Amino acid sequence: MNTTPTTTPPHRRIRAAHTTDTVTVYQAYRPEIGDYAARHGRFPASWSRSRMTWIKPSFLWMMYRSGWAGKGGQERVLALDISREGFESALRGACLSHYDRRTYPDRAAWAERLGATSVRVQWDPERDLGLRPLPYRSLQLGLTGRATKDYADHWLRAVRDVTGLAHAVRDLVRSGDTAGAAALLPAEPPYPLDAATAAAIGATTELSARPAPR
């Protein structure tokens, strides 16, 4: 099975389902958290707003991370629609988790930004339907402190349980029907970023698609 595209997209690109107002990200939780969130459209009070939480716009990266919703504590995969305003504000203030000389003039500048923000960015290899790494990367966004509270209590617009979709795609992949599996995947077009935001998170410059907000 070869699900690697014939042309390689930009090395660091955000691909995400999005509307004019919202962007969809994914997380996986144990059933008591996931079921509550899907039923009520919000996290329960027991969901810790003091810990770092990672959100992922890539459905297949979430499948890789959760083992098709099969790993312990990740049995429920959620699609969470959050406001683009909140998402983009987090990106603008984010810092890469690791020093990157292409993004920061030196380690001191990176360390200063890291200490000043509650948002982390990691670029991890995107995955194909076999959950193998592809030669380009997708975003993980880590939120802590105020950013975690904003995510849970202000940005969140809707929550859907997509565990059934995860299992359906998995089953088609395992049966050899990759075309059928691919047809079920959420559409994740490139997410438009202004040049300043792209530079702040080390995204490939082809992502710059609109002027920076004033």
pLDDT above 50 (res 59): yes
Region 43-62 average pLDDT: 95
Instruction: Report pLDDT digits (tens) over 87-133.
Output: 999 999 999 999 999 999 999 999 999 999 999 999 999 999 999 99
Which helix (H) or strand (E) is 160 found in, with range?
Answer: strand 156-161
Checking if the pLDDT of 207 tops 50, the result is no
Q: pLDDT tens digits for 166-177?
A: 999 999 999 999
* pLDDT of res. 214: 36
> Using an 8 Å Cβ cutoff, are 38 and 168 in contact?
no
Q: Please tell me what DSSP assigns to residue 207.
A: G
Phi/psi of residue 176, each to 5°?
95, 0
Classify residue 161 as left (phi > 0), alpha (psi -120 to 50) or beta: beta
The answer to whether the pTM exceeds 0.85 is yes
Instruction: Give the ranges where the chain is alpha helix by DSSP (H).
Output: 31-40, 59-66, 84-92, 107-116, 146-150, 163-175, 178-184, 195-201
Helix (H, G, I), strand (E, B) or coil at 121: strand
pLDDT at site 199: 93
In terms of C-beta density within 10 A (0-12 exposed, 13-18 middle, 19 or more buried), how is residue 35 classed? middle
Residue 41 CA to residue 143 CA, distance in Å, equals 19
